[in-house]
Chains A and B, each alone.
Chain A
Amino acid sequence: MLTLEGVQVNFGGVQALKSASFSVGEGESIGLVGPNGAGKTTLFNVISGVVRPTGGRLDFRGASLLRLPEWKRARLGIGRSFQIPRPLGHCTVRENLIVAQRFGAGKKDPKRIDEILDLLNLREKADRDATTELALTEHKALEVGKALATEPSLLLLDEVLAGLETNSKRAFMERLAVVRERYRLAMVIIEHDIPTIAALCPRVLVLNFGQIIADGTPDAVFRDPEVIRSYTGETTL
């Protein structure tokens, strides 16, 4: 459903993406890993329209996304979370979802919003101020919730599990699995923790210095010498 070919991003002198190419099939779950600064977030920014690439192709369901603004891509079915949570300003949790549903999915469906709140364990915080009254797990959950409320067919999750302690992380992973089944989504998940990735994704992409250096099953990828080298210091791969 999504195809990138030779996508390139330069920030002044920094080449954040050198030449990224890969595709995502309908309903596929893909783990995206790579060392800090590899360009993972930049890749999501390109796909969601936050950053314009300096070169390359980007197609979604057969049409190029490159000229479309963020909000049109959201309406086409591309949902994303932010690595550093960005709750919508001055809104409650529920209002965050309402805005996302109203504009991203073009509908008013309180039932589905309740469903999302329940799935993500946010029901109790529904009417709290999303900027000031949430704990980290809830912030991460709301990132997923905002994207889900737009009714995406492709969900891009940027380190939504990072920083959570073991129990909440396990619970969150289970919720993501339920969400994926319920809404039949394709997912790309950025995550540093390899067991987590291996548990959630049958396919893994490794990004290093702005290029995909490996693409395959978790087993194969994490045994690849080049991948191990890219994670210098992390010998327990």
Chain B
Amino acid sequence: MTTKHVNRLLLIVALAVAYVGVPLLFGGNAYVLGLIVAALTIAGVAVAWALLGNLGGMVSFGHAAFFGVGSYTSAVLAMKLGVPVFAAMLLGGVGAAVSSIAMLPALRLRGPYFALAILAYAHIFQILATEMTPVTGGAGGLLSIPRFPAVFGVDFGEKTGGYLIILTIIVLSGLAYDAVRRSSWGLALKAMHDTEVATRVVGVPSTHLKAAMLALSAFITGVVGAFNAHFISFLEPDYAFSSGWTVLPIAAAIFGGYRTVWGPVVGALAIYLLDQLLFKPIMPHGHQMVLGVLLCAMILFSPGGLMPALRRRAAKEARHAHA
């Protein structure tokens, strides 16, 4: 079996466990399932963040903006215009992608300057959501946002249904990410990182490609934000645009392996579930500190994150098995 086959097999097993195993195991445990959904919500943003960093070469400190715009767009569309919730969720992604247009001028900036500019943008959107009271409910927020409906006998408004939705969002995002990475776009994006001018003179519209990655990343983040809004059925600007929606996904991506497609998902599950199920009961105050230490340790011992470390380990064992 080649690595490609192994990878495909692993993916199929992971999908089977995720779609069948988890609901069977935790379907009755609303608390644990709620935690898993929260972890996957972070995972979705983490995948989008890593996609932008990996393919677009852009480090963003402002993904909370896309999360917030997506959640508000979807909530407002569903509440005020009666748009069906699933459609509203996708439109939330579109809204976030559109909002990324405002960030296009920042694309000329490199490295830390881009990161800071996008942070400033995130703040602007939060202020907008707070000030546009007639539409967004202002600082008071929006209550009783419509939940997901029942379709074909599955109640997506329940925890298990919500879990299936966010899981599907992540799977589709990961597959889309992988497809772009393998395409000639992915190749050109990779080539652009250090040699943008050389890439442009062979015909690559580098700015367009980066803008497209920003829009795709924003779209995914917006859909995840929208999902969250309908799942918890409540929004306020401080929550929807909270810097936590930027920081936790970054930590998750780095922990799991920001250079891989599925590393951010693994990272989000590991970080969030460890924190909530293990550290928090032991250390009700300051449990996030343990996370910080864990993240530092990961960066020191395996800068590529958990996924590459596991892969190295598996490769080593395979060699031993041969010997």
Contacts and interface: CB of A to CB of B under 8 A. Distances in A.
Asked if chains A and B come from one complex, the reply is: yes
Interface of A: 48-50, 69-71, 73-75, 79-80, 82, 86-91, 95-96, 98-100, 102-106, 108, 146-147, 149-150
B193 A50 contact: no
A interface: dominant SS? helix
A89 B193 contact: yes
Contacts of A98: 184, 187
Shortest beta-carbon contacts, A-B, top 7: A104-B203, A88-B191, A89-B194, A86-B198, A100-B202, A103-B203, A74-B203
A105 B184 CA distance: 13
B202 A146 contact: yes
Contacts of B202: 71, 74, 79, 88, 99-100, 103-104, 146-147, 149-150
Contacts, number: 84
B123 interface: no
A71 B203 contact: yes
A50 B195 CA distance: 13
Contact of A89 (B184, B192, B203, B204): B192
A82 B198 CA distance: 8
Nearest to B198: A86
A44 to B, nearest CB: 10
Interface string B177-195: 0000000100110111111
Contacts of B25: none
Interface of B: 184, 187-188, 190-195, 197-206
A103 B197 contact: no
B198 A90 contact: no
A108 B206 CA distance: 19
- Give the interface centre of B190, B192, B199 by most chain A CB atoms within 10 Å: B199
A57 B7 CA distance: 56
Chain B at the A interface: SS class: helix
Contact of A90 (B184, B190, B197, B201): B190
A13 to B, nearest CB: 24
19 contacts: A50-B201, A70-B200, A73-B201, A74-B202, A74-B203, A80-B201, A86-B195, A89-B191, A89-B192, A89-B195, A90-B193, A90-B194, A91-B190, A95-B191, A99-B202, A100-B203, A103-B205, A106-B203, A146-B202
A91 B187 CA distance: 8
B194 A70 contact: no
Nearest to A70: B200
A75 B201 contact: no
A135 to B, nearest CB: 19
A82 B201 CA distance: 10
Given A103-B203, A150-B202, A89 B190 contact: yes
B131 to A, nearest CB: 38
Contact of A75 (B192, B194, B203): B203
B184 A102 contact: yes
A103 B195 contact: no
A44 B132 CA distance: 52
B191 A49 contact: no
* A69, A89, A149 interface centre (most CB from chain B within 10 Å): A89
Contact of A71 (B187, B194, B195, B205): B205
A97 to B, nearest CB: 9
